[in-house]
Structure 1
């Protein structure tokens, strides 16, 4: 009966979308923007600015994901992420309703809601690793060429063939700006500085600007570039250290989830107690809360180390 009512509700919702010509992406982005950008009093804004009052977990997560997508050049995907999040929210609540477990409704709905956000965080990790690896190569060869000829434009042009996207487009725009639009090296480097969210690259740009006024400062460029190599080594060691704990964590999660259907074959009375009595349903909800919360902490704590100035 619950399945029939659920299908009827979903069909009715889809019918409203079709009749009113509502785009799901636009609707979800407006809902998320409305939840995260609610009008606040001056007192609340002052408290948040001074750290006396922190925004809710949901608002912090949405703002962080929006900033991650902006940094990685994928801000156009924010409505799609919001739509996937709301769809998974509905799927989680539907699964809990079909299982006839009232305690699971907020747990599965909230847990499934954050799945797209966690996926974006994981893709951010790979994106930053790729950017750091390309920057290490690009800055190394460009710095070597600059130390030889004392001309940053010539140094970039000489090594353009050895650069790969997305670093290639940044240095290409720098060359085109200097040669065809405005021949100011300092402003060109400042413009290039804001296109890559990497502290080592920004420090290298600051040092390169200083070198335009004092050529003796070019000896500071090589130590700055070496920081990228140091961070790559540190992150490699960190990845080796967290690999085993992460694998054990995933294994324990699967074991906890597989124990539920396993009980059906081992002892049906235990399975009935777990799935169809209030204490058992509450225990299942607590286990899933622990799984979702621990997953969020594991994703947050296993992010690669970044250099901070």
Structure 2
């Protein structure tokens, strides 16, 4: 009998739950709580991922630039100290100085990125010149290995082609395999297309002009890049001139309008404006660096 009453009681409670929608309410509360936990975990993961991205970026750039970690850490320390000193000089506030110190600490990443971009651009230009020499020679000789041998001293980017000669001479005399292997040694889209054209020309000599057309496209991209670099140089010059004018305003206030300068560096609104200014500068620099990438890479 007791089990009968317990069963009736359980069914009654279940009916009340379903009748008043308590099951949906509990389910909604559980989902909301779970969503908050997932959101909090996502925020933690996002914060960690930002730090992880910076660390990964640092490792990638230092490895690409072949810079010792000790040198990079020294640059980071100097950048942080310089940022803190400039923050104190311009804004006379420790909190803002800490922010500028953090920006100074990551400034070596931008320097490394510019150095690597310049090095890649120079390497792509040497590769373009080498491809031009070999393409013109190959049209005449119809023997790519002979073209490489005849122009070995004139090549500005000789390493992959010397490796090709070594591979075909001592390991495998298949020119197609050697070309495929050479194509994997250089990370450049035009070079990959050029190698594909050379491979096709080994089977059909009439396709030897296709390799020259790829180099012509690369030359066109080089001319466009030169025009872009000229335009970007003028834009960067105006940009940095504007930055100098912007950051000179606090010093002008400090000398000519000291009460306004005190309000700027001590009031919460003034500090917020300074932080927004620094954030806008960093955002604009990052966007400009992403846009101004070499076309030949």
Task: Name the CA distance, whole Å, in 2 between partners of 1:56 and 1:247.
Answer: 34
Deviates more, 1:90-99 or 1:254-263: 90-99
CA contact (8 A) 2:190 2:214 kept: yes
Look up the match of 1:102: 95
Cα 1:155–1:236 shift into 2, 3 Å = same
Cα distance, 1:267 vs structure 2: 2.0
Give ranges in structure 2 of 5+ residues lacking alignment. 1-45
Look up the match of 1:236: 226
Deviates more, 1:126-135 or 1:182-191: 182-191
Task: Name the CA distance, whole Å, in 2 between partners of 1:116 and 1:281.
Answer: 26
1:85 corresponds to which of 76, 82, 85: 76
Cα distance, 1:55 vs structure 2: 8.9
Cα 1:186–1:54 shift into 2, 3 Å = farther
Cα 1:80–1:89 shift into 2, 3 Å = same
The question of 1:216 aligning with 2:209 is answered no
The question of 1:136 aligning with 2:105 is answered no
Look up the match of 2:288: 298
TM-score (norm 1): 0.69
CA contact (8 A) 2:179 2:199 kept: yes
CA contact (8 A) 2:65 2:112 kept: no
CA contact (8 A) 2:117 2:294 kept: yes
* Alignment deviations for residues 120-169 of structure 1 (CA, whole Å, 9 cap, x no partner): 221233223212221222111111211222211110011111112xx122
Task: Name the CA distance, whole Å, in 2 between partners of 1:187 and 1:74.
Answer: 31
2:142 corresponds to which of 123, 132, 150: 150
Q: Any residues of structure 2 matched to 1:109-258 within 5 Å, and which?
A: 109-164=101-156, 167-258=157-248
Cα distance, 1:77 vs structure 2: 4.3
Cα 1:54–1:272 shift into 2, 3 Å = closer
Deviates more, 1:57-66 or 1:116-125: 57-66
CA contact (8 A) 1:101 1:281 kept: no
Cα distance, 1:112 vs structure 2: 1.8
Cα distance, 1:181 vs structure 2: 4.0
Work out the number of aligned pairs and report it: 251
CA contact (8 A) 1:81 1:117 kept: no
Partner secondary structure for residue 102 of structure 1: helix
Task: Name the CA distance, whole Å, in 1 between partners of 2:70 and 2:189.
Answer: 29
Task: Name the CA distance, whole Å, in 2 between partners of 1:148 and 1:123.
Answer: 39
Cα 1:187–1:76 shift into 2, 3 Å = farther
Cα 1:58–1:203 shift into 2, 3 Å = farther
Task: Name the CA distance, whole Å, in 2 between partners of 1:91 and 1:232.
Answer: 38
Partner secondary structure for residue 195 of structure 1: coil
Cα 1:255–1:299 shift into 2, 3 Å = same
Task: Name the CA distance, whole Å, in 2 between partners of 1:58 and 1:306.
Answer: 31
Greater helix content: 2
Give ranges in structure 1 of 5+ residues lacking alignment. 1-52
